[in-house]
Each structure stands twice: as structure tokens, then as C-alpha cells.
Amino acid sequence: MRLVVQRVKSASVTVDGSVVSSIGPGSMALVGLHEHDTQEDLEYCCKRLLACKLWENDSGAPWRHSVKQRALEVLCVSQFTLYGKLTKKNQPDYKHAMKAVPAQEMYNAFLGMLKSNYEPEKIKDGIFGAMMDVALVNDGPVTIVIESNGHQVIGGEDDET
């Protein structure tokens, strides 16, 4: 499972000209599911998304507060293209992305897990499988990639701190 998490001042999802979801300050997570992802991957990414410290504390020290500690919102957007690779002909290949039906079930389970581990009304999402216009105002910008495969964050070992 792969999440691309951005700290945002605001974010929204529009489908067919209508805003279907929006948040104020918080995290916007693009969510990609790998063909071999399991419940354990969902649990790991849920924990990390809600616990990653992307905000300063009340004293101004950076990287001390999580979305939960700041009582902020989370917007999740399903994105199978996170598991795309370019072929020799520079065309995207998504063979390692989870197929649509099981991916929708796992994505919904992930949303349910986030809601049960946080305040349900603060977890928002787009429409699975839809063509979406995603708008956001980055805060920083701050972008973190969380990868459950091997329980590592891309760019270094995950030390659980």
C-alpha cells in the first residue's frame, strides 16, 4: 500500500462539476493499493497516516504534532496510478495495482479503519473509480510517502518514532 500524504491548508474533490468532499487544514492522502496488499497493510498505513507529525507544536517546534493531535481533517483519494511504472515505450503499466473490485473493498475498509481510529466526521474521501478534479492548497509544501511494503517509508528506514 502506498500513500502520498500532503499537508494542506485546504483540499477538495469535484466530480462532474459538483464538489463531493472538502476539508480545511489537514492531510490529503492519495491512496494506492498493491495487488498483494492485506489487512496488515491497511492497519499499518492507517496508523502511520494518523500519527505522522507534520505540524509544529504550540511552542513552534516543527514536526511535533499529528493530524489527530491538532484535531485536523483528512481527505483520502483513491489512486491506482500510484502503482504505475513506465514501459520501455514510455507507456504506463498498472499490472501491480490491485484490481477494481477488491481495491474498492479494501479502500472502503481503510476508510472505515481511519474513522474508527479517529473522529469519523473528520475523514473525507472522493468517489472510488471516478474521474476527479482534486484541488488543494499545499501548506509548506510538505509531502511524505508512506509505503507498507516492508513497512518502510520511501527514502529511509521506518524507525517507529
**pTM for the full predicted model:** 0.91
Q: Residue 155, Cα to own-chain centre: how many angstroms? A: 17
Amino acid at site 3: L
The tens digit of pLDDT for each residue in 66-122 reads 999 999 999 999 999 999 999 999 999 999 999 999 999 999 999 999 999 999 999
Paired with 133 in beta bridges are 14
| Alpha carbon distance 3, 111 (integer Å) | 13
- Three-state DSSP at 120 gives helix
CATH class of the domain whose range is 2-151: alpha beta
pLDDT-derived band at 126, boundaries 50, 70, 90? very high
**Cα dihedral sign for 115, 121, 123, 128?**
positive
